[in-house]
Structure 1
Amino acid sequence: MQSLNTTLQPVKTVYDDTQSEQHAKPPSGSGSMGRFAVNLYNGTRSFVTSLSPNYLPDHLKTDNETPLSATTHYPVSGNRPATFTGSLFEGAGLACSLMSYWCPQVQIVADVAAKLCAGVRLADELRRTMAGNPATSELGHTKPKQHSPTGTGTNHLAHAAAAAVAVEALDRLAGTAAVPLPDARGGRNNPIPVGDSATLKKIGRDPKHPSNAFYIQTGNIDAKDNEAIGSKREPFSGSYDGMCRTIRNQKECLFKSLSGNVHNLHLSDAKINVREESAAVVACQMTGAARIENVAITRSQVATTGDTDFGQQRYAYAGVVTAHQNESPATRINGVNVTDCSVATTGNHSFVGIAGGHISGEVTGLKVLRSNVTSEGTSAYAGIGAGILDGQIRHLSAVDSQVVTEGSDAHAGIGAGLLDGQIRYLSAVDSQVVTEGIDADAGIGCGLANSPRAELSFITAIDSKVSTIGDSADAAIGAGQFDSFGQISDVTAYGSNVHASGVDSAAAVGSGYAAKGGQINNIKAINTTVIADGEESPAGIGAGLVFGESHLENITALNCEVRGNERDLTGIAYGELFSGSADENSTKTYNSMVYDQLQGRGIDQSQLNHLCETADSRFLANDCRVVNYAGFANEGCEPRSLPTSSVSPTPTSVAPIPFSTVPLASATASSLSSGAIAGIALGSLVGLGALGVAGYLGFRHYSNRHGNLLSETESVELNDHMDSQDP
């Protein structure tokens, strides 16, 4: 923690007798305990100051050298000596951090030590700040100052601040110790059964059903009267295994806040219509290491409202899986199937998607069938993957689904409305994206990408449609507007249609409007139509309008029709090249109508055999033949019987951890409960304290023989002082 004092001065060579005497004065005490306290105080102070690189024993000092004290001011850039307590907690925290490499749960105790250390430092800084800095003379010498008597409000305030931090730290440790033992009720090997709505209601509310326990669902549940599990203050951090059984008829999120994991669950017939910040079927909010895996959601509807409350802007997030997934490498949605669902937001600044309104983590293996995403309002972004994506989506498939926005600046996409992250391996079959407002871009990959790190790759669109109606609204199979230095690569459009009807609106396969310095590569359109018929509207295969330092190469069109507002605004590779570049040698046109002119001959079979090899092979063969993928809607888990062993079943969709990534002794660590490990670590902390005391005693013994901790005069004065205190 950086000092609150930004005007600290270097150590002065001028010694102030008044200040020294105040600091050297030991605390008062009586009897043997009092003597022990005073000796401990002086010994501790001497030990700490001896750690300074500028330390000299008293017997080696000359009269004009300043003894270092616990309150000596050091330069801002230097290290101030820490208190004995602070050093102890720092050492314990470091030891626990090292231990956490083998036992990750010990990191919690390291956090506790850090908080306690912060409390000690906070108290010290408050004392230092409230007392004021020593004044300096014109010559730079420290002036004497009057000290506040002991027991003033400054000390009380400092102690209160330290106590507050300590309470928070100990609360953290107590919560860790409360994690059920593996074989105890609610532990990993003895999960709590959930067979009805009454038991489901108890999770996180009943002491016998804590929010950090393991649960398995033993029967189908009607949750029409249930409230959401967990809260922002205390999220559900345990494990919920649905055993592929069903929870139906929800009226709100199953989990208000989730930091644990949910898997092997079927949710159906939810009807959630709220005027709240977040709404979703599975979790309103995902945070920490939250995971949702191997979950199926069917016949469910989610709706929420954004806009304003009493003049204050209120953002709204809505999703089928989650409303808001916080940024964390460990926060994941994996293997989720969504069928016959809808999610909608109304009002300005609302964000909506099937996976989530705002996705900042990772989404993998999302399959969406016959589902709709809609938004009404200004700056209301919508997508099958996410309204706003600044995380990653991989392997997203949408079949017979659509995304529609009605407001201005309301971008829409199958992958994301607004892209600030990465989308890889996206497929859209018989799906559409439509925007109706001004400056509302639309795309199969994303509506608008405006981040330097934005990336779209391996995008496949079959029999799909992208349409914009408002002015300055770009449309594309890829990115409607790619205002980025990132890249769009390996995009394949088959039998699809792109149409921008507003003024100054571009249409393309690749990017409608390519700005800045994006790289657009390996774009293929087969049997596809691209039209921009508003005034000053370009159209192209590759990009409609190219601007900045954008570059295009490896563009292929087969049996396509491309038509911009004018002949000069129509082309293969680009409709209009304002700036930037295109590699025309790698551009190939076969039997395609460009404005009103046929370009290119038919393609050879040898060339056709591998034309679509980067497309999704489930839907399109390498030679661009459409494949009927029958298994898309039938994938998912079936209800299982209860486990016969004592071990809770492993989620079927979770990939095993590679052996090389498992730290040594991880098996031993996982066999201990968090409470046991916390106890061991706390014992280690106490042991460190004992070692510190032993080290101090050894140091005192050494110093008494090679240079007294206290001068002879000070020792006599101290002994006289202690004798006078005895009854």
Structure 2
Amino acid sequence: MQTPASGGGIVWVEGTVANTTAVNSRVETSGTDADAGIGGGDVRGTVANTTAVNSYVNGIKENSGSISNDQLLCQKADLRVLTANCSSRTEFLDALDFPNSNACPENAATVPTPIKINDAKTLDKIGRHPAYPLDGTYQQTADIVVTKDYQSIGSDTDPFTGEYDGDYHRIDNLTDCFVKKLHQGTVSKLHFTGAHINSEGPTGLVACKVNGTVRDILAENAHISTLGRNAPAGIGGGEVFDDGTVANTTAVNSTIKTSDWYSNAGIGAGRVGVGGTVADTTAVNSRVETSQYSAEAGIGAGLVKGTVTDTLAVNSTVKTLSWGSDAGIGAGQVDIGGKVAGTTAVDSRVETLGEYAYAGIGGGQVEGMVTNTTAVNSRVETSSSGVNACAGIGGGLVKGTVANTRAVNSTVETSGVLSGAAIGGGQVKAGGRVANTTAENSNVTTSGNAAHAGIGGGRLILAARLLTPGR
């Protein structure tokens, strides 16, 4: 006997089949005494909660029950292209590892067709021509060389809210931010070469201000500088706000410089606000530098109030020239609540020249949390003029937490008065915590008066905690 069914072929006495759903499915039998059904073919026990939609049993259409309430069959569907009776709930099919079905067909009339961008003239129309709106969906189809008169897409009051897919094509010779302000939109998969941007305000190669998503960016021979006060600069974004994200940014042979107070600088971003994220930033043969007061500099970001993760610097330099301007590879300064994780420096250098200008690989000044920092063949240094300019591989000045720091063939050196140095934390303040520090073939040196040096911590103040595994 053959008894095909969806749910159970034959359900014996005391047998139970429950919660069966069939959509666009078929059950067929052709043998003698071969029952067919959805739920059960030959039912002698209990079958409960069976749903059949547009399905057939031996050629007879079955429509029992309804999926209108659960709407389980819209796995991985884009909200913009669903028909009216579908939702984006995916748990059911995800759990069963089902592929997409036709139960929720795409509404072809609403599938967004990208507007093709293939030259500088067409690019310039975005936000300036009715057919090229700021909330549009765009795809670049060719490499583009812009003119020196290029103007950013959108503005502070009318931001770009659409999607721009560069499809890994180049944009050459930018003289302004690609996008002025990105708000809940996306810019992705772009390769920028030969950009030279000089600005008075916040400046980012991709976007001056980011409250959307920037991802998959490569910048080569990009040179960005700001001259105004409170004018952060970066490759992914000048400033990353609230829910903004910059991910997978690579800079090669590039420079970021700022020249006034409070003008932070970085490769991922100049400044990362609360809730902002910068991830997977790589700098190769690149340099980040600031020259005025309280202008923090870093590869991941200059000033971090949000999150920076997975930063890699190779043969790169971070340097600040003025007092109160911290420098680091992960971040120059990590504020309370800020997090920096997964920073690696290879053949790289961090240097500060001013008083109270802290330097580190993970973070120059750490009030938040820095974890998983690695330095290989790298150097952290503060100058003789830098009174109380502490330096460290994990953090220069630690008021928060530094954990899991490793230094290999690396050097930390200070020459100023009260300028502690360490692999771990140069100076660990009250409430600061340094844990799990490893040094291999590395050196820590100070030459100034009252400038303490150590592995773990250079100078510990009051209730600071220095922890090592097994102690």
Q: TM-score, normalised by structure 2?
A: 0.72
Check if 1:470 corresponds to 2:354. Answer: yes
RMSD: 2.5
In structure 1, the residue matched to 2:345 is 461
Output the CA distance in 1 between the equivalents of 2:125 and 2:283: 37
Q: Deviations over 1:2-53 (max 9, x none)?
A: xxxxxxxxxxxxxxxxxxxxxxxxxxxxxxxxxxxxxxxxxxxxxxxxxxxx
Q: Counterparts of 2:355 and 2:451 in 1: how far apart (Å)?
A: 20
- Alpha-carbon shift at residue 371 of structure 1 (Å): 0.4
Which of 351, 376, 380 aligns to 2:263? It is 380
Which residue of the other structure, out of 438, 442, 449, is the alignment partner of 1:560?
Answer: 442
In 2, Cα distance between equivalents of 1:503 and 1:303? 32
- State the alpha-carbon separation in 1 of the partners of residues 376 and 391 from structure 2: 16
Q: Against the structure 1 CA distance between its residues 241 and 195, is the aligned structure 2 distance closer, same or farther, given a 3 Å change threshold?
A: closer
Please list every run of 5 or more consecutive structure 1 residues that lacks an aligned counterpart in the other structure.
1-100, 107-180, 212-235, 273-278, 306-315, 588-727
From 112, 134, 152, give the equivalent of 1:188.
112
* Structure 1 CA distance for aligned equivalents of residues 80 and 370 of structure 2: 42
CA distance in structure 1 between the aligned counterparts of 2:117 and 2:442, rounded to whole angstroms: 57
Question: How far apart, CA to CA, are the structure 1 residues paired with 2:457 and 2:304?
Answer: 23
1:538 to 417, 420, 423: 420
SS at match of 2:394: strand
1:488 alignment partner in structure 2:
370
Give the corresponding residue for 1:301: 196
Given the superposition, is the C-alpha separation of residues 363 and 203 from structure 1 closer, same or farther in structure 2, using an over 3 Å criterion?
A: closer
Give the superposition deviation at 1:193.
4.5
CA contact under 8 A between 2:226 and 2:259: conserved in structure 1? yes
CA change 1:581–1:396 in 2 (3 A) is same
Counterpart residue type for residue 291 of structure 1: T
Whether the 8 Å CA contact 2:144–2:172 is kept in 1: the answer is no
Does 1:285 pair with 2:161? no
Contact (CA 8 Å) 1:251, 1:270: kept in 2 or not?
no
Q: How far apart, in 1, do the equivalents of 2:118 and 2:373 lie?
A: 47
Check the 8 A contact 1:553/1:586 in 2, yes or no.
no
| 1:268-306 C-alpha deviation (Å, 9 max, x unpaired) | 43242xxxxxx41x2111002x1111111111111101x
Structure showing the higher helix proportion among its residues: 1
Match of 1:344 among 225, 249, 255: 225
- Cα deviation for residue 505 of structure 1 reads 0.5
Q: 1:183 to 1:346 in 2, by over 3 A?
A: same
Q: How does 1:587-666 map to 2 (within 5 A)?
A: none
Separation (CA, whole Å) in 2 of partners of 1:103 and 1:585: 48
C-alpha spacing 1:585/1:567, structure 2 compared with 1 (3 Å): farther
Mean Cα displacement is larger for which, 440-449 or 263-272?
Answer: 263-272
Map of 2:164 onto structure 1: 262
Cα distance in 2, alignment partners of residues 355 and 192 from structure 1: 23
> Equivalents in 1 of 2:364, 2:340: separation in Å?
12
**Residue 550 to residue 266, structure 1, CA distance change in 2 (3 Å):** same
Letter of the 1:188 counterpart: P
Which among 226, 239, 242 is matched to residue 137 of structure 2? Answer: 239
Q: CA deviation at 1:266?
A: 3.2
Measure how far apart 1:488 and its partner are.
1.2
The match for 1:622 is none
The one-letter code of the counterpart of 1:259 is: T
2:210 — aligned with what?
325
Alignment correspondent of 1:30: none
2:172 maps to amino acid: D
Partner of 2:272: 389
Shift of 1:332: 1.0
- Rounded Cα–Cα distance in structure 2 between residues aligned with 1:337 and 1:260: 21
1:504 to 382, 388, 393: 388
SS of aligned partner of 2:189: strand
User: Partner of 2:336 in structure 1?
Assistant: 451
Q: Which residue of 2 aligns with 1:572?
A: 455
Given residue 299 of structure 1, which amino acid in structure 2 is its aligned partner? G
Q: Give the whole-Å Cα distance in 1 for the aligned partners of 2:394 and 2:421.
A: 11
Whichever residue aligns with residue 408 of structure 2, its letter is: I
Cross-structure match for 2:234: 353
Question: Which residue identity lines up with residue 266 of structure 1 in the other structure?
Answer: H
How far residue 476 of structure 1 moved from its aligned partner, in angstroms, is: 0.6
**1:194-231: CA deviation from partner (whole Å, max 9, x where unpaired):** 45555444444444x241xxxxxxxxxxxxxxxxxxxx
One-letter amino acid of the structure 2 residue matched with residue 479 of structure 1? G
Deviation at 1:410, TM superposition (A): 1.1
Equivalents in 1 of 2:207, 2:356: separation in Å? 32
**How far is the alpha carbon of 1:356 from its aligned partner?**
1.0
- Give, in whole Å, the separation in 2 of the partners of 1:246 and 1:188: 23
Aligned sequence identity (%): 30
Q: Deviation of residue 389 (structure 1)?
A: 0.7
Deviations 1:529-564 (A, max 9, x none): 101110111000100100121111211111111012
**Separation in 1 of the partners of 2:231 and 2:127?**
30
Task: Supply the AA of the counterpart residue of 2:393.
Answer: V
Greater relative CO, 1 or 2 (CA 8 Å, sep 6+): 1
CA–CA distance in structure 2, aligned partners of residues 201 and 575 of structure 1? 55
Q: 1:324 to 1:202 in 2, by over 3 A?
A: closer
Amino acid at match of 1:333: V
Shift of 1:450: 1.5
Report if aligned partners of 1:250, 1:269 keep a CA contact under 8 Å in 2.
Answer: no
1:405 offset after TM fit, Å? 0.5
1:301·1:343 contact (CA, 8 Å) conserved in 2? yes
The equivalent of 1:403 in structure 2 is 288
Instruction: Give the drift of 1:188.
Output: 2.7
Q: Which residue of 2 aligns with 1:13?
A: none
Question: Match of 1:258, SS?
Answer: coil
The 8 Å contact of residues 370 and 401 in structure 2, kept in 1 or not, is answered as yes
After superposition, give the CA deviation of every residue in 1:667-710 in whole Å (9 maximum; x if it has no partner). Answer: xxxxxxxxxxxxxxxxxxxxxxxxxxxxxxxxxxxxxxxxxxxx
For the residues of structure 2 that align with 1:555 and 1:192, how far apart are their CA atoms?
A: 52
The partner residue of 1:433 within 318, 332, 357 is: 318
Give the CA deviation at 1:420.
0.4
Aligned length: 359
Give the drift of 1:321.
Answer: 0.9
| Equivalent AA in structure 2 for residue 478 of structure 1 | G
Question: Rg bigger for which structure?
Answer: 1
TM-score (norm 1): 0.47
Distance in 1 (CA, whole Å) between partners of 2:258 and 2:419 is 26
Task: In structure 2, give the amino acid aligned to 1:455.
Answer: K
Contact 1:407 1:440 in 2 (8 A): yes
Structure 2 gap ranges (5+): 1-73, 82-106
Return closer, same or farther for 1:299/1:508 CA change in 2, 3 Å cut-off: same
Query: Displacement, 1:248?
Result: 2.8
Query: What SS is found at the alignment partner of 2:419?
Result: coil
Distance 1:578 1:560 in 2: 24
CA contact (8 A) 1:431 1:463 kept: yes
1:585: how far off? 5.0
* Structure 2 match to 1:251: 149
- 8 Å contact from structure 2 (residues 416, 451) kept in 1: no
Check 1:569–1:492 CA distance in 2 against 1; reply closer, same or farther (3 A cut).
same
Q: Does 1:371 align with 2:274?
A: no
Quote the offset at 1:351 in angstroms. Answer: 0.9
- Cα distance, 1:304–1:584 mapped onto 2, change above 3 Å: same
Whether 2:304 is the aligned partner of 1:419: answer yes
Deviation per residue, 1:601-624 (Å, 9 max, x gap): xxxxxxxxxxxxxxxxxxxxxxxx
Cα deviation, 1:344-376, whole Å, max 9, x if unaligned, reads: 000221111111110121111111111000000
Instruction: Say whether the 8 Å CA contact 2:395–2:425 is kept in structure 1.
Output: yes
Task: List per-residue Cα deviations over 1:320-349 (Å, max 9, x = no partner).
Answer: 1110012xxxx2111111111011000221
**Counterparts of 2:316 and 2:449, CA distance in 1:** 29
Query: How many angstroms does 1:379 deviate by?
Result: 1.4
Contact 2:118 2:144 in 1 (8 A): no
